[in-house]
Amino acid sequence: MENRLTKWHDAYIQNAYHELKHGTTRKQLETLNINATGKRVLDVGCGPGNLLVALSTDAPELLIGVDIDETFLVFGRSQIQKSIAPPSAVPTLLRASLPTLPFADETFDLVTCFLVMPHVPDDTVALTELARVLKPGGTLAISGHGLGFPLRYLKRFRLKPLQMYLASLIYRCTGKKWIRNTLQNDRKICDLLESIGVVPAVRHYNQKILGCVATYWVKAIKNDTNPKTMQ
Ligand SMILES: C[S@@+](CC[C@H](N)C(=O)[O-])C[C@H]1O[C@@H](n2cnc3c(N)ncnc32)[C@H](O)[C@@H]1O
- Per residue in 41-83, pLDDT (tens digit) is 999 999 999 999 999 999 999 999 999 999 999 999 999 988 8
Cβ atoms 136, 199 nearer than 8 A: no
Q: What is the pLDDT of residue 229?
A: 44
Q: Which residue, judged by its Cα, is nearest atom 20 of ligand 1? A: 97
- Tell me how far apart the alpha carbons of residues 20 and 28 are, in angstroms, rounded to a whole number: 10
Nearest atom of ligand 1 to the alpha carbon of 72: 27
Q: Homologous superfamily of 7-230 in CATH?
A: Vaccinia Virus protein VP39 (3.40.50.150)
Cβ atoms 52, 63 nearer than 8 A: yes
Q: Which residue has the higher pLDDT, 143 or 151?
A: 143
Q: Which of 61, 218, 213 is nearest to 130 (CA)?
A: 218
- Tell me how far apart the alpha carbons of residues 131 and 193 are, in angstroms, rounded to a whole number: 9
Q: What is the pLDDT of residue 168?
A: 87
Which pTM value belongs to this model?
0.92
Mean pLDDT of the chain: 90
How does residue 124 score in pLDDT terms, banded at 50, 70 and 90?
very high
Q: Which residue has the higher pLDDT, 118 or 178?
A: 118
Q: Is the C-alpha dihedral spanning 148, 53, 120, 193 positive or negative?
A: negative
Among 45-49, 129-133, 167-171, 224-228, whose mean pLDDT is lowest?
224-228
Q: What is the identity of the amino acid at 182? A: T
Among 47-61, 63-77, 163-177, 180-194, whose mean pLDDT is lowest?
163-177
Residue 147 near ligand 1, beta carbon < 6 Å: no
The answer, yes or no, to whether the previous bond of 87 is cis (omega within 30 of 0) is yes
Angle at 37 between CA 32 and CA 39, to 5 degrees: 95
Most confident of 129-133, 165-169, 174-178, 223-227: 129-133
Residue 54 near ligand 1, beta carbon < 6 Å: no
